[in-house]
Amino acid sequence: MKGRGLLGKWGPNHAADPVVTRLNPKTKRLEMVAIQRKDTNDWAIPGGMVDAGECVSATLKREFTEEALGNNSEVAKQLKDLFEHGGEEIYRGYVDDPRNTDNAWMETIVKHFHCDDQLGQNIPLQAADDAKDVRWLCLEDNEKEVSKLYASHAAFVREVVTRFRQKHIPVLWITTDQSIAHPH
């Protein structure tokens, strides 16, 4: 592709991608909200372009609300606390995106937001805007589907899973006498 291709600006085109996760209420496995893109039919992180003058935190919330909540402002209010606490930055930089050219490319900030049990059970997903469909996608023992995510999204999601496991799954240490000890 030449010029700026399908991207709106020459040079870097800035995006924001919120990875919103929960533990499935029945299986307790880690899941994320995934949207099916209208343009490619690929499953992806709901996200999009940072508008001129917009701060990234506003883009993260706006894109999630537009694509995964059907622009439902009442539900967006329920998610206010989730997005206002900043989330955990997973990645910042260049994205290997099929729309990139030598003259225009994607750069993104990916943030992880984890829902508590109550919020995770009560988010009514509804596809809208650039999303054809939306669902909770299991991230554990599901490499087949995770690897098919759009552009660099699989790498971002794998990093979310790794960090989540490091924080929430207790580490057991094998001691020299072969007994198991919990670290303090």
Q: What is the pLDDT of residues 109-154, one digit of tens each?
A: 999 999 999 999 989 999 999 999 999 999 988 999 999 999 999 9
| Interval 33-55 mean pLDDT | 96
d(CA 1, CA 104): 10
What are the structure tokens assigned to 16, written together?
């924001």
For 2-36, what is each residue's pLDDT tens digit? Answer: 789 999 999 999 999 999 999 999 999 999 999 99
Per-residue tokens: 94: 């260049």
Nearest CA among 118, 96, 123, 117 for reference residue 107: 96
